[in-house]
Amino acid sequence: MPREKKTPEQHSIDPAAQEMLIRADQIGVSTAFSRAEDMIPCNIGGAGMCCKLCGMGPCRLVKDGQTGVCGATIDTMQARNLIRAIAAGSAAHSDHGRDMAFTLKAVANGEAEGYQIRDIAKLRVVASRYDIPIEDRAPEEIANDLADLYISQFGQQRGEVAPISQAPEKRQAIWREQGVVPRGVDREVVEALHRTHIGDDQDPVHILSHAIRTALADGWGGSMIATDVSDILFGTPAPLLGEANLGVLKDDMVNVIVHGHEPTLSEMIVAASQDPEIIEYAKAAGANGVNLSGICCTANEILMRQGIPAAGNFLHQELSILTGAVEAMVVDVQCIMQALVGLAQNFHTQIITTSPKVKIKGATHIEFDEHHAMTIAKQILKTAIDNYKNRGETQIPDVRENLVPGFSHEYINYMLGGSYRGSFRPLNDAIISGRIRGVAAIVGCNNPRSQQDYLHTHVTKELLKQDVLVVETGCGAIAAAKLGLLLGEAGLAHVGPGLREICETIGVPPVLHMGSCVDNTRILTVLTQMVEEGGLGDDIDQIPAVGLAPEWMSEKALSIGTYCVASGAYVMFGGSSPVSGMPDRVEDSDIVLNYISKGWEDIYGGKLEFVEDPDEMVRRTLAHIDLKRADLGLVEYDPARFGRSGDARMRELEDLPLAERRQALYGAATD
């Protein structure tokens, strides 16, 4: 019997997405949502039981005890598949970091048109971490040395990648004891590929140990470099007002969407769009200027720093084109669907590829070069403006939400205490007292295999009710933004009493948007600073915190999950498991599944699990947080103790006669 087609509501909880899916049906075009419905996933490959690493196969294991032609067992295959995915994710993030480091070098040497060092204070802080002299030196000199150091981390052959030194000391000792400290970023990725070539590493546990090292090269290597350099060049984020969802597109302006990951080009396009020459050019074309917005992590980069609106997350890339109102979608690297080009042919939208690493057949290629960035950014915008006259009928969903992004770890530190006494003390104290039960990082992608944004926002809302402070990055953060969870009071209605008091006192939303996926390193830094502040143990694995990627789909997500586990975090992924193995296998006999959870927990204190049911994710998160609280000897979480201070208390008192109000406030009648 043919399966019943999913409704737009079953595909996404976002009304803007639902509207565009109806339009896609009317026009008769496919999207990732409909293609995912038509494409039944391969349950052999999906469970990690297929090997195509040599020409004797591909081998697929469907019977218990079966091996590949070379004799590889299911466990070896699963470990190989997993490490290859992690290596690809680590490579993608790290190559982003490498490009940022090269841009820093070019800026330091006056060779990068239009760029400057925007955050000299952060440059000095980061340089001093690595003993680069900063006194009596020009920012460019310091930046030149830092760029050289960072560039050298990728090709380094021996020793330890430098940012490792920023982890808690106890954590560094565990990594050294296990022999998993990355020597150089590229070396670990290359070794992951070498080890998984036919006839190499065939002990699943040994392979997975190198998976840890490969992922650490991302989190405490390439990604950390990417975040540091982005902040130095474009400014460390601080809260500002932004908007999210397709309703940010404008009917009377030239709409340009920047999509992908690296901020280098998108920051320059932001600057160029405000240039009088470009505004005039747009007006001459009959438009009221250029309206920029972002998709995916590029959106997060320019939203966090410039307040440029986010048109949406991963699954919004096709939906934005369906509005018919996008003159150009400018893409660089990662998470860009090939389907964009075919879809755009139904409209006037131009897909412009810009990276020397990424071309898509049928797209316009205008290659980016940071040495001539402003010139190229203007050329791209003029191409989009020239396309405005070709616009046909449009349908822009009237759906958008305000949000407050910009919570870098520097800002969190500042907001907790002000410029003279900024520290993580108030956050630690709030956790110790039980006002905040624990912390959850909810990150990662959209996946059309599940209802868009549902898992993210369901888990987020349930944890907020339980007084869990939520920090978010990537497409998960945009999901929360679209649902109005990133805006102060709007997000507070369903927040637990203790957490609500904290948010009201500090004046922050209950969900803190910390940036793009490479910025998950900001979360590592926050956790490290919480350890250093004291009172919550002496290593990350003792903090009552959990990492969640409810709608993951990319290899980068697997790398992030793995470096968080290696850093001591309990990490849960939603959706399907790439190492689930045979459906009727006894779980305890599954080496890989067990090793990445119990095995890694024994060594690192963190574990990786795949959990399909979002309520089970919430249950396990709370159980873990409570267990860590108990291990630290903290008071048991009890929401009944809180909620009678801050704004809530003031509202209660408002209704009392003056004398009683005074009594309640000051403890004695004064008149």
Q: Which stretch binds ligand NFS (CB under 6 A): 221-229, 380-388, 458-466, 550-558?
A: 550-558
Nearest distance in Å: CB 153, ligand NFS? 20
Amino acid 318 reads E
Q: Is residue 556 close enough to count as binding ligand NFS by CB under 6 A?
A: yes
Q: Is residue 239 close enough to count as binding ligand NFS by CB under 6 A?
A: no
d(CA 490, CA 494): 9
The residue (of 334 and 428) whose beta carbon lies closer to ligand NFS is 334
Q: Is residue 247 close enough to count as binding ligand NFS by CB under 6 A?
A: no
Give residue for tokens 């841009």: 103
d(CA 602, CA 623): 18
Structure tokens at 57: 């196969």
Pairing outcome for strands 350-353 and 326-331: parallel
Q: Which stretch binds ligand NFS (CB under 6 A): 14-22, 140-148, 241-249, 551-559?
A: 551-559
Q: Which of 79, 106, 225, 296 binds ligand NFS (CB under 6 A)?
A: 296
The residue (of 497 and 515) whose beta carbon lies closer to ligand NFS is 515
Q: Is residue 554 close enough to count as binding ligand NFS by CB under 6 A?
A: yes
Nearest distance in Å: CB 86, ligand NFS? 13
Q: Which of 272, 475, 527, 603 binds ligand NFS (CB under 6 A)?
A: 475
Nearest distance in Å: CB 219, ligand NFS? 13
Q: Which of 335, 439, 486, 530 binds ligand NFS (CB under 6 A)?
A: 335
d(CA 164, CA 181): 8
Q: Is residue 297 close enough to count as binding ligand NFS by CB under 6 A?
A: yes
Q: Which stretch binds ligand NFS (CB under 6 A): 138-146, 455-463, 553-561, 624-632?
A: 553-561
Nearest distance in Å: CB 314, ligand NFS? 4
DSSP string, 270-307: HHHHTSHHHHHHHHHTTSS-EEEEEEHHHHHHHHHHH-
DSSP string, 608-643: EEE---HHHHHHHHHHHHHHHHHHHTPPPP-GGG-S
- Residue 83 contacts by C-beta under 8 Å, 6 or more apart in sequence? 192, 195, 196, 207, 208, 210, 211, 214
Question: Cα 301 to chain center, whole Å?
Answer: 10
Show the binding pattern over residues 495-524: x = contacts ligand NFS (CB under 6 A), - = does not: ----------------------x-------
Angle of helix 204-217 relative to helix 185-195, nearest 10 degrees, comes to 160
The residue (of 445 and 569) whose beta carbon lies closer to ligand NFS is 445
Question: Cα 627 to chain center, whole Å?
Answer: 27
The residue (of 80 and 261) whose beta carbon lies closer to ligand NFS is 261
Nearest distance in Å: CB 486, ligand NFS? 16
User: How big, in percent rounded to 5, are the helix, strand and coil portions of the chain?
Assistant: 50, 10, 40
The residue (of 163 and 476) whose beta carbon lies closer to ligand NFS is 476
- Residue 573 contacts by C-beta under 8 Å, 6 or more apart in sequence? 444, 548, 549, 550, 552, 557, 561, 608, 609, 610, 611
Q: Which stretch binds ligand NFS (CB under 6 A): 2-10, 552-560, 565-573, 619-627?
A: 552-560
Residues within window 420-449 making contact with ligand NFS, judged by CB under 6 A: 444-445
Q: Is residue 224 close enough to count as binding ligand NFS by CB under 6 A?
A: no
Residues within window 253-272 making contact with ligand NFS, judged by CB under 6 A: 261
Nearest distance in Å: CB 93, ligand NFS? 7
The residue (of 531 and 565) whose beta carbon lies closer to ligand NFS is 565
d(CA 313, CA 301): 13
Radius of gyration, alpha carbons of the chain: 25
Q: Is residue 474 close enough to count as binding ligand NFS by CB under 6 A?
A: yes
Which residues make up the interface to ligand NFS (CB under 6 A)? 261, 296-297, 314, 335, 444-445, 474-475, 517, 554, 556-557
